Amino acid sequence: MKILSYNVNGIRAALKKGFAEWLQATAADVICIQETKAHKEQVDTSILEELGYHHYWFSAQKKGYSGVAIFSKKKPNNVTYGSGIDHMDFEGRIIRADFDEVSIISLYLPSGTNINRLEYKFKFMDEFQEYINELKEDFPNLIICGDYNICHETIDIHDPVRNKKVSGFLPQEREWIGRFLNSGFIDSFRHLNSEPNQYSWWSYRANARNNNKGWRIDYALVSEPLKNNIKRSFILPEAKHSDHCPVGVELIF
């Protein structure tokens, strides 16, 4: 099973930049999308259907904001829209698809762009951990793909010294994702790749992408019971439909 995760920074804009042709070439079984910035009825979904994808959308109440989706070649046994936690679901940040072998979540964790949003981010992180702790009891084979808006280690960011007081690399954020991993998850990319300078997001400013001054904030976290199923993990920086690029994992069942 080949699973991709991609913050597209607006699915309609990405489609205009060749996203559908790229998706066809990847032959992904499942792709988790974040920051759709659209409701399903605003998108020409026939393109996805022609490529053989079932598609499921969970959008924010606010138009043109946030939103997640899952596209899958195989029809899931069940799709759960949201977490059941009102403030998370108002912003359209979690959707889950259950298959025979595994359950897959597309997650868009908030960014801490200002003090109010940073406080909200911490609230979200704490409640998300509790939500997943409970969910794992019923769905132990869990993969949580998405934009976590956090770099975990210094290897995951181009300038750890100057960014240590910037949201996305704050000590409290890094500690949280460390605890989250320790609660029973594997960072599939770092599980198989130890090379530096591997990033999934670049600022639009100062020619950051061309200079590879990036952050690795997108993850495919795999629950511990699936550790031996991980065959490959990767980042696809050549895909340029967004300020992020896709990340992915392949599992054998």
Burial classification of residue 116, based on how many CB atoms lie within 10 Å of its CB (0-12 exposed, 13-18 middle, 19 or more buried): exposed
| 211-217 long-range contacts, CB within 8 A, separation 24+ | 212/158, 213/158, 213/159, 214/157, 214/158, 215/151, 215/156, 215/157, 215/158, 215/168, 215/169, 216/151, 216/152, 216/156, 216/157, 216/189, 217/147, 217/148, 217/149, 217/150, 217/151, 217/156, 217/168, 217/244
Q: Is 243 a catalytic residue?
A: no
- Give the residue from 122, 136, 135 showing the smallest Cα distance to 87: 122
Dihedral-angle region of residue 168 (phi above 0 means left; psi in -120 to 50 means alpha; beta otherwise): left
Q: How many angstroms separate the CA atoms of 239 and 208, rounded?
A: 15
Q: How many angstroms separate the CA atoms of 83 and 70, rounded?
A: 15
Q: Which is the catalytic residue, given 147, 156, 187, 218? A: 147
Quick check: 121 and 96 in contact, CB under 8 A? no
- Give the residue from 22, 29, 92, 65 showing the smallest Cα distance to 245: 22
Give the residue numbers annotated as catalytic, written as ranges: 147
